[in-house]
Amino acid sequence: MSDTTSNQMWGGRFAAGPDAIMEAINASIGFDQRMAAQDIAGSRAHAAMLGATGIVSPSDVEAIRKGLLTVLSEIEAGTFVFSTALEDIHMNVESRLTEVIGTPAGRLHTARSRNDQVATDFRLWVRDQLDAAEAGLVALMKALLTQAEAGADWVMPGFTHLQTAQPVTWGHHMMAYVEMFARDLSRVRDARARMNESPLGAAALAGTSFPIDRHMTAEALGFDRPMANSLDAVSDRDFALEFLSVASICAMHLSRFAEELVIWSSAQFRFVTLSDRFSTGSSIMPQKKNPDAAELIRAKIGRIFGANVALMMVMKGLPLAYSKDMQEDKEQVFDAADNLMLALAAMEGMVKDMSANRDALERAAASGFSTATDLADWLVRVLDLPFRQAHHVTGALVALAETKGCDLPDLALEDLQGVHAGITEAVFEVLGVHNSVASRLSYGGTAPMRVREQVARWQETLG
C-alpha cells in the first residue's frame, strides 16, 4: 500500500479526494481489516522502539500505547466503525487513534511507511496461519494414528489403478496418510522458519535516517532477525507464495483422502461408515447417506490451487520495490487459509468418527487374485524359478482360476501342479491374505508388526 495515495488524510494536492470509482478500486479495508490485531501489534512494537531510542518522548509513547489498546478493544468488541474512505486497516487505526489521544498519534508513523507496515502485518498474519496449520495437521495425524493402531492387522485390498493389487492392512493405509501429512507438517515448519524475518524499519524502500533499532522491533514481534535489505523487505511476498504452495500440496493430500472416503463409503465398497455429523441425507431418496464433507473438501481444494496461481500472476512482473498490485495479495491468501483450516478440521472430524468395516475389507482383500504376487514370489524363493518364469506360471494359474470361477487359494493342488509340477502343498501358506500381509516384513512394509512400529514411532514424535 503506497504512501502516495489519494487519501484525504494526506492533504495538499490530494485534498480533493477520489471519486467513487477510484475509492472503490483503491480501498482494501473490506478485507485487510482481518489484520487489525497484527497491525496494532506492529504499531505497539514500533512505538516502544521510538521511545527507547529517544525519537519520540516517553509521554507520547505512553499515550500511543494506551490509545492502541483502546482501539484494539473496540475492534475486538465489534464497535469499531471501519471507513472505506480511509482505504485500509492502517489508516483506519491511525485515524481512530488520533480521535482517542489527539496530537501524539501523529508521531506513530515516524520512521515508518505503510510499505513496511503492511509487509509486517501480512507476514505476522501468515505466520499465525502457519501455526494454525501446524496444529491442524498434528490433530489430523493423531486421529489417523488412532485408526492405524486399531486396525494394524485388519486386511484390505491395496490398489494400483484402482484395481486390486496386493493385500495390505488398514493400519498401513492409514499410516500412508500420516507420512503424507508429516511432509506437509515439515513444509509448514520450514516455511515458518524461513519467513520469520521482520520488514519493519525498511520504511518506504530505502530505510530511514532516524536512529531506529530494527533488532528491537524484530524481537518484540517474535521474529528471528530484521530483513537485511530494505528493498527486498517491502517488495517480498515469497512468504505468502510459500504458504500457498504448502497449502496447495496439503490440500492435494486432503483431496486424495477425501476421494477415497467417497469411494469407500459407497454401497459398492462399504469399507467405511462415516458418522452422521459429516454426512447428509437426500431430499428425495431416504436410503441415501451422502459423504458431503468429503466431497466439499475435494471441491474446496480448487480455491487453494487457484489462489496460488493468482498470486504468482500478480507478482511475476513487478519491478522493485512496492507496486499497488501487491494490494491484491491478501484476499487470495485469506481465502486459501480459511479453506485449508476448514478442510483440515473437517478431515480430522471424519477420521475420528469413521468406522472401518473389517469384514467388508477382508472380503475385498481376498478377491481379485490379490495374492498372485505372493505366489510368484514363492515360486522364486522356494522353486528357484527366474522371476519372469514365475510371473508366467502365476499368470497361467490366474487364468485357470478365472476359468473355474474361483480365487487362487481355492485351486486344488492338482490344478497348481498341472501348470508347474514342482508346486507343493506349502504354497498354500502364502496364498491367504493374512499370511500375505504378515510376510511383508521389509522396512515400511504392511506387516502388522511393522505398522505397529511406525504407529509407536509417530506417537512418540507427536507427543
CA distance 445 to 458: 16
Helix axes 114-150, 329-353, angle to 10 degrees: 10
Long-range contacts of 241-244 (CB under 8 A, 24+ apart): 241/308, 241/311, 241/312, 241/315, 242/191, 242/194, 242/195, 243/126, 243/129, 243/130, 243/191, 243/195, 243/333, 243/336, 243/337, 244/304, 244/307, 244/308, 244/311, 244/332, 244/333, 244/336
CA distance 313 to 327: 13
Max CA distance (Å), the chain: 100
Annotated active-site residue 436? The verdict is: no
Peptide bond preceding 321 in cis form (omega within 30 of 0):
yes
| Active-site residue (options: 161, 209, 283, 442) | 161
Let me know: does 437 contact 168? Beta carbons within 8 Å.
yes
Residue 131, amino acid: D
CA distance 51 to 62: 9
Give the sign of the dihedral formed by CA 53, CA 208, CA 102, CA 1.
Answer: negative
Annotated active-site residue 282? The verdict is: yes
CA distance 376 to 286: 47
Encode 114-131: b = buried (16+ Cβ within 10 Å), e = exposed: bbbbbbbbbbbbbbebbe
What is the distance between the terminal CA atoms of the chain, rounded to a whole angstrom?
A: 43
3-state SS class at 158 = strand
| Active-site residue (options: 186, 266, 282, 367) | 282
Q: Which residue has the cell 505372493?
A: 374
Q: Which residues are catalytic?
A: 161, 282
